[in-house]
A and B are shown apart, each in its own frame.
Chain A
Amino acid sequence: MGWFTRSTAKKQQTEIPEGLFAVCPRCKAHIYKDEYENAFKVCSKCNYHERITAAERIRLIVDKGTFREFNAGIKPNDPLGFKDAKGTYQEKAESAIAKTGLHEAVVTGSGDIHGLRTTIAIMDFRFLGGSLASATGEKILLAAEHALRMKRALLIFSASGGARMHEGIVSLMQMAKTCAGIAKLDRAGLPYISIMTDPTYGGVSASYATVGDINIAEPGALIGFAGRRVIEQTIKEKLPDDFQTAEYLLDHGFLDAIVNRAELKEYLHSMLLYGLGKKV
């Protein structure tokens, strides 16, 4: 693109007052920023659910002022002393911490959902692609143990590209470790609800994310074991456009429901009432 066309494109954009509108990443509709933020980044035109941060998720789901984070200080470990072409894993982790203000790809704590005290884990894709590694797995296991100790329900919001390569086999083992925590909740008869958000892949989809008593997803979320490109290279075939979308998974029997962000809190509250049965 030459400088001339570029400058006209710029000119067109400036006709819309900057800062007042958000642009939908999918349908490119301009929506008042306040309206977009109040809808927790859901496009009012096409229902696109943009990825949101753990902090935004807490505001969406948890009763105001009731969230108490725990194990916030747990940071990435470097069990392998990993180094690649671009530098050390330690540097990479430090820069993720600086960039996101988070210490790991998951935030865990306790909070109320319409007054029901619940243990909650929320993954944040901005932190190294929401990858599952030792500290991530540790926080999720501790959350499961917390729910067990307090005899409460556990909610996990997943958003992840998969296991974190930089911790190698130790990352892989977090799949078994977190599932062992879920198994304990299961034996204790405590509800575990899994909410899959965009994207949920690999080591996370193949562990705690898909074994909820209730598995739900946000509209349009991509969920799968292997990535689309890997599958296309393996089978040498083009996959359908809606492959691995939440809607596709619902159709194939792997989700209980797809729930709009606007209705998510009410939905979870209902599920908790059923799940806790006689306990409330």
Chain B
Amino acid sequence: MNLEFENELAEIEERIAELSKLDSSEYPQLNKDLGALRRKMKNLTKKIYDNLSPWDTVRIARHPDRPLFKDFIDGMCTEFIELHGDRRAGDDKALIGGFATIDKHRVMLIGMVKGRSVDEKVYHNFGMPNPEGYRKALRLMKLAEKYGLPIVCLVDTPAAYPGKEAEERGQAEAIARNLTEMANLEVPIVVVITGEGGSGGALGIAVGDAILMLRYAVYSVIPPEGCAAILWRDAEMAPQAADALKITADSLLELGIIDEIIDEPAGGAHRDPETTIQLTQTAVITALQRLKRQSPTRLRDNRYNKFARMGRVKKPRT
């Protein structure tokens, strides 16, 4: 699938694919033409991706070919052992976690699963966790703390699920509990926003010491469509809302909400998932190495100060 601002790219891609099938003995110009097309492709990709609007970025963050949590698990970990259940009510299918080995680091890896096929999407509730997901995540984080393992959270969710049973089982309390308990944890927490950072549903596993974000991921208090429907009284104004809400990695870095942007290959993660996953792995390892040197109390104090600084308002002189 290509997004409309990528149409021209898709055409060139197609022509490259066609030419590549030809034999250079029958077509002496082949290599020259292919080279020219590839250069054109490269320049055009850069031009398009250097000028993306925040709304374009939303579209990329939701792209069906974008690497999902399971792709990151496969690409980043030599081992992943899923641990199920919140020990209270159930086993959430949208938010999963378990022991994982990333390079030489044994960690607790937690993240949202969206699924690719229709069946998978339904099974994983489109990556929208219920309270059981947040409670399972907290159970695993506490276990990580007990075993002295760092925590790595990969965030990609449209939202916490707004359902009847979710409310009855305390969706708000489950998220609030995580925010409170994560502030107390004495092991390093590395967070990567890989796709959609959907409001409280994302934040519920995103109180980190290092908060990384892929170049074309988004992170927002409300989906642009929802904001547009309320403040513009028209969901069609989503591009304007996306602009006003400052949801791109660049804006978030500037606002001091995230610590680092992980670059995506030219043309976005959906064109080259392997490289994206590799770059993510490298960034996670670097963050782990840095944070593992800090004492448990230092980690906790730094985390407190990090969040206390967000949106700090100067006291007026009285």
* Chain A contacts to B: CB under 8 angstroms: 71-75, 77, 79-80, 82-86, 133-135, 137-138, 141, 163, 165, 167-177, 179-184, 186-187, 202-203, 205-211, 223-226, 230-231, 234-235, 237, 239, 243-244, 252-254
B244 interfacial by beta-carbon distance below 8 Å: yes
Q: Please choose the segment from B19-27, B110-118, B219-227 that sits at the chain A interface, where 4 or more of its residues have CB less than 8 A away.
A: B219-227
The contact of A225 among B172, B183, B307, B311, by CB within 8 Å, is B172
Q: How far is the CA of A230 from the CA of B307 in the complex (A)?
A: 29
By beta carbon, the residue of chain B nearest A200 is B172
Contacting residues of chain B (182-222) with chain A, CB-CB under 8 angstroms:
182-184, 199-200, 203-204, 206-207, 219-222
Main secondary structure of the interface of A (DSSP, over half): helix
Q: List 23 A-B contacts (CB under 8 A).
A: A73-B316, A74-B313, A85-B233, A86-B231, A137-B311, A165-B222, A168-B221, A169-B220, A169-B245, A169-B255, A170-B255, A171-B311, A173-B257, A175-B176, A177-B307, A177-B310, A177-B311, A179-B176, A179-B180, A184-B304, A206-B200, A207-B175, A231-B163
Q: Which of B160, B181, B207 is the most central at the interface, judged by chain A CB atoms within 10 Å of its CB? A: B207
| B180/A183 in contact, CB under 8 A | yes
| A80/B246 in contact, CB under 8 A | yes
By beta carbon, the residue of chain B nearest A71 is B315
| A211/B232 in contact, CB under 8 A | no
* Contact (A85, B237) CB under 8 Å given A134-B311, A169-B245, A171-B221: yes
The contact of A234 among B163, B179, B182, B313, by CB within 8 Å, is B163
B59 interfacial by beta-carbon distance below 8 Å: no
The contact of A170 among B171, B206, B230, B311, by CB within 8 Å, is B311
Chain A residues lying within 8 Å of B237, measured Cβ to Cβ, are: 85
Q: Which of A174, A175, A254 is the most central at the interface, judged by chain B CB atoms within 10 Å of its CB? A: A175
The contact of A138 among B160, B180, B199, B311, by CB within 8 Å, is B311
Besides the known contacts A170-B310, A231-B163, 4 further A-B residue pairs in the complex with CB atoms under 8 A apart: A80-B245, A165-B230, A174-B311, A180-B308
Q: How far is the CA of A44 from the CA of B244 in the complex (A)?
A: 47
Smallest CB separation, B231 vs chain A (Å): 4
B135 interfacial by beta-carbon distance below 8 Å: no
B303 interfacial by beta-carbon distance below 8 Å: yes
Chain A residues lying within 8 Å of B244, measured Cβ to Cβ, are: 80, 82-84, 168
| B167/A225 in contact, CB under 8 A | yes
Q: How far is the CA of A235 from the CA of B304 in the complex (A)?
A: 38
| A84/B162 in contact, CB under 8 A | no
Q: How far is the CA of A80 from the CA of B162 in the complex (A)?
A: 27
| A74/B316 in contact, CB under 8 A | yes
| A202/B200 in contact, CB under 8 A | yes
Q: How far is the CA of A79 from the CA of B232 in the complex (A)?
A: 20
Smallest CB separation, A140 vs chain B (Å): 11
| A210/B173 in contact, CB under 8 A | yes
Chain A residues lying within 8 Å of B312, measured Cβ to Cβ, are: 134, 138
